[in-house]
Structure 1
Amino acid sequence: MATLEDPIEIGGVTIPNRLYRAPLLECAGNGPDAVDALIDDLDPAAESGVGLVCQGATIVRGDGGCAAPGMTRVHDPDFVSRLSRLTDRIHGYGSRIFVQLEHGGLRSMETWHAEYRREHPDLEQLAVSRPPWQLRLLDRLGFLSYDPHVLSTDEVYELAADFGRAAASAVDAGYDGIHLAGANMGIVQQFLSPFYNRRDDEFGGSPEARLEFLAVVRDEIRERAGDVPLMTKVPAETPAPPAPVVRRKLSLEDGVEIARRLEKIGYDAVVPVQTSVVWDMSIVRGEYPERAWNNEGLQAEYDAAFGGAARKRLVSLANRIQSLRYDFEPAWNADFCRRVRERVSIPVLAEGGIREREEMDQLLGGANGESFTSGTPACDMVGMARPFYAEPKLGARLLESGTGGETSERTRVLCESCNNCTVPQVTGAPGICRTPDVLRARGELEREGAYERPES
């Protein structure tokens, strides 16, 4: 059975251990300080010993497609070439770095961000198909604003080529692999999902056809970037609103079949995640972020993002209701990952609610020979996202504890899954922990030297 400290190979690239920093919003943008901002965010994880660092969702086009303010774009080869400073830093610690490529489609800011829409009236909302009736109803009621441009067949191929061009530039800048944002309601999930995809060309109409976009993206990346490791998130839309509100969605069985077919297409690893058909708290399960919503310094920016105080209150109310449904659950993707791992031979990466070293050992199958679920190991690597906001050098604690052979209080992450780090990001605020108790605890650990790596 694997341990967290064991190396693993993804698409011919050796990762020194099985702990990874999952993609997060860095909010670095593309300005003159963007590279330094990315280094500030990602360098600590690699310095702490994390084997794989995943740069958060980065947009493959120069206009549109950003799901949140401050997302970095990788359409410009000149800008991407400057990111070699970042990749060199990560490699200097012996770690590897993948970049996550994305286009938001109907989840983009040109759909939901009121001020951004006013400032960019010419931007089109790109859609896989005409929005389903549920979203059109929300449009008529004034909760959302849809005026989409449905991609033609030729435009789908051109979008796939943009992914290939971005991947080629990233490889030239020293990135070790490509991670596609295949869930969280981005354009890839919209192609995969029967909720969104009602196309009648080669990119829709059957489960196999809905996978064709990922097949073309794979071909474009292979043609332009070579045999770079390629992985993607694989969605299952089980937490989506129940029938009769949403009848067409991806089940766990659908997600397993998608992963199996992706291996045949030529993907090198998959990240199975349970998500929703809409942007909600299914991907950040935990507490209602009351402190963030009540932050007086952000009220004007919330109003600008959501289109006024009344809409802001509606979004906050929806956030509160979702927090009741999507309460925190340890390793909530474990069973999905295990099902996928039983059907594929490529590495399966698990993330979502992993908070203790003991859980990691169980997911990898190394704790008393049992997995976190049952029968077989649930995954081949384990990752976390929000805990790295709370502890940028978290890897040093987790990996150090693995050599000691015992699980202690020091091997539990400090993150409380309070989500007060996530809501401010709709304003472009950086992803940092703002929870006083967590910050005090981190300070104590820093004074104790808990984030210092032992001498080799």
Structure 2
Amino acid sequence: MSRLENPLEIGGLTLSNRLYRAPLLECAGNGDDAVETLVSDLEPAAAAGAGLVCQGATIVRGEGGCAAPGMTRVHDPEFVAELSTLTDAIHAHGSRIAIQLEHGGLRSMETWHAGYRQANPNLQQLAVSRPPWPLRLLDRLGFLSYDAHVMTTEEVYELAADFGRSAAYAVDAGYDAIHLAGANMGIVQQFLSPFYNCRVDEFRDGVRFLELVHDEIRKRAGDVPLMTKVPAETEAPPFVRSRLSAVDAVRICERLAGIGYDALVPVNASVFWDMSIVRGEFPTRAWRDERYREGYAEAFGGRGRAALVAFGNWVESLAYDFDPAWNAGLCRAVRKRVDVPILAEGGIRERGEMERLLGRDCDMVGMARPFYAEPELPARLLGDTAGDTRVVCENCNNCAVPQATGEPGVCRTPEVLKRAGELRKQGAYERHGHSEAE
């Protein structure tokens, strides 16, 4: 048996194999069709055999904090209870499900989305500290809008309690694990990063916030397996002097393992929301698509500014070209120093590559964007005996940019969809030899 098919235990939870669907933006919101949308998006991965399915980032408060349109909020216990329909569907296929908890902080829509700011003029961003000077400069130039509220010590404690409460609601609804959104410039990264965190209280040490969140989750949700992303800000532009190095990230992981986190997801990141997160080609098709022009104008404050954002996106695509398994080295460095499972994601695209990573760099491998084109991708990968299966995703990023307008995350590249359709006709996504309830 290859490593990919081997079971793995995380915090007492046994997973049937070492392949997971990494968190993606589902754009399900909280409306009447939210649960149905989430089931439609997530169940195929479980039906196809993924050992773990991670629901995308969900917001722990009822107001503010969304990094993109259509994010689901999990502050309301009545709504979260309805998500038992989703967890039951995942469990019926023998898979397990984690929910990712987040608050956007300075990256929230009340910062960058012009239409949202206009509709919610009184919303302030939650901030760890005063926004750093590059962000204040963008505010003066009119590209962002900061009216940040720097949290008091008491308010930080209350935010951690919100993470704990949402985790408890999720466990009651049948979720098997809690995954914190510790990177992608969300509030957790803002606590960890010296670029953002200039506090003078106990939370000047950003790990202290993650320790407090851990304690709140343990107090309210019990011994549910708990994991988090951990960023190394290695992709930040050279002018950013204060950043998390790879050495810093390894040390943070050591501390988190000691605190009681059950698994860690080390990632190379920037201090900005840029294409270091989704490396690959400039999404020409998505930017030129007439269907989204008005949505871009609303989001970015007019067609001219949308064009400037597109230009910036193009410049970033030159700096952040696709790099296979771009977090492998960092994962390997962390794995040498901690005794908890290490999950690797970011640019993993081939079955053979997965086998090389497992046991050397990590204990579990995940993918995100490829699931937009192939929702049942695990069936192809787990059914591969030769080890030469590669995803059809071309890393073109046409799936991601329209999400700024509230569009769902789906593959929009005809050539990729054609290839997936051909594979479906060939029966490549059929899962053989498994019952519905394993």
Shorter-chain TM-score: what band?
A: over 0.9
CA distance in 1 between partners of 2:225 and 2:78 (Å): 23
Q: Which ranges of structure 1 fall in alignment gaps of 5 or more residues?
A: 366-376
Q: 1:344 matched to which residue of 2? A: 338
CA distance in 2 between partners of 1:455 and 1:340 (Å): 36
Secondary structure of the residue aligned to 2:179 is strand
The code of the aligned residue for 2:338 comes to V
Q: What is the total number of aligned residue pairs between the two structures? A: 434
Q: 1:369 matched to which residue of 2? A: none
Contact preservation (8 Å) 1:191, 1:203: yes
Q: 1:359 matched to which residue of 2? A: 353
The code of the aligned residue for 1:431 comes to G
Q: Once the two structures are superposed, what CA deviation does each residue of 1:225-248 show, in whole Å capped at 9, x if it has no partner?
A: 000000000000001011xx2100
Q: Once the two structures are superposed, what CA deviation does each residue of 1:204-245 show, in whole Å capped at 9, x if it has no partner?
A: 0xxxx2211000000000000000000000000001011xx2
* Pairing partner for 1:290 from 281, 284, 287: 284
Q: 1:413 matched to which residue of 2? A: 391
Q: 1:372 matched to which residue of 2? A: none
CA distance in 2 between partners of 1:266 and 1:363 (Å): 25
Q: 1:171 matched to which residue of 2? A: 171
Q: Once the two structures are superposed, what CA deviation does each residue of 1:16-70 show, in whole Å capped at 9, x if it has no partner?
A: 1000000000000000000000000000000000000000000000000000000
Contact preservation (8 Å) 1:2, 1:364: no
Secondary structure of the residue aligned to 1:69 is coil
Secondary structure of the residue aligned to 2:383 is helix
* Pairing partner for 2:378 from 387, 395, 406: 395
CA distance in 1 between partners of 2:151 and 2:237 (Å): 26
**Deviation, structure 1 residue 139:** 1.2
1:259 and 2:253 aligned: yes
Aligned-CA RMSD value = 0.8
TM-score (norm 2): 0.98
1:217 and 2:213 aligned: yes
Contact preservation (8 Å) 1:30, 1:72: yes
Q: Which ranges of structure 2 fall in alignment gaps of 5 or more residues?
A: none
**Deviation, structure 1 residue 138:** 1.4
* Pairing partner for 1:383 from 352, 357, 366: 366
The code of the aligned residue for 1:407 comes to G
CA distance in 2 between partners of 1:407 and 1:94 (Å): 24
1:51 and 2:51 aligned: yes
Contact preservation (8 Å) 1:96, 1:176: yes
The code of the aligned residue for 2:348 comes to I
* Pairing partner for 1:310 from 304, 307, 310: 304
Q: 2:142 matched to which residue of 1? A: 142
1:117 and 2:117 aligned: yes
CA distance in 2 between partners of 1:395 and 1:89 (Å): 17
CA distance in 1 between partners of 2:198 and 2:225 (Å): 31
CA distance in 2 between partners of 1:38 and 1:310 (Å): 35
CA distance in 1 between partners of 2:182 and 2:60 (Å): 14
CA distance in 1 between partners of 2:247 and 2:296 (Å): 38
Q: Once the two structures are superposed, what CA deviation does each residue of 1:148-198 show, in whole Å capped at 9, x if it has no partner?
A: 000010000000000000000000000000000000000000000000000
Q: 2:230 matched to which residue of 1? A: 234
Secondary structure of the residue aligned to 1:203 is helix
1:194 and 2:183 aligned: no
CA distance in 2 between partners of 1:71 and 1:138 (Å): 25
CA distance in 2 between partners of 1:338 and 1:407 (Å): 22
CA distance in 1 between partners of 2:364 and 2:317 (Å): 28
Contact preservation (8 Å) 2:112, 2:143: no
Q: 1:449 matched to which residue of 2? A: 427
Q: 2:404 matched to which residue of 1? A: 426
Secondary structure of the residue aligned to 2:230 is strand
CA distance in 2 between partners of 1:113 and 1:144 (Å): 8
Contact preservation (8 Å) 2:343, 2:362: yes
Structure 1: 4+ residue segments shifted above 3 A: none
Q: 2:242 matched to which residue of 1? A: 248
**Deviation, structure 1 residue 455:** 2.0
Secondary structure of the residue aligned to 1:211 is helix
CA distance in 2 between partners of 1:260 and 1:363 (Å): 21
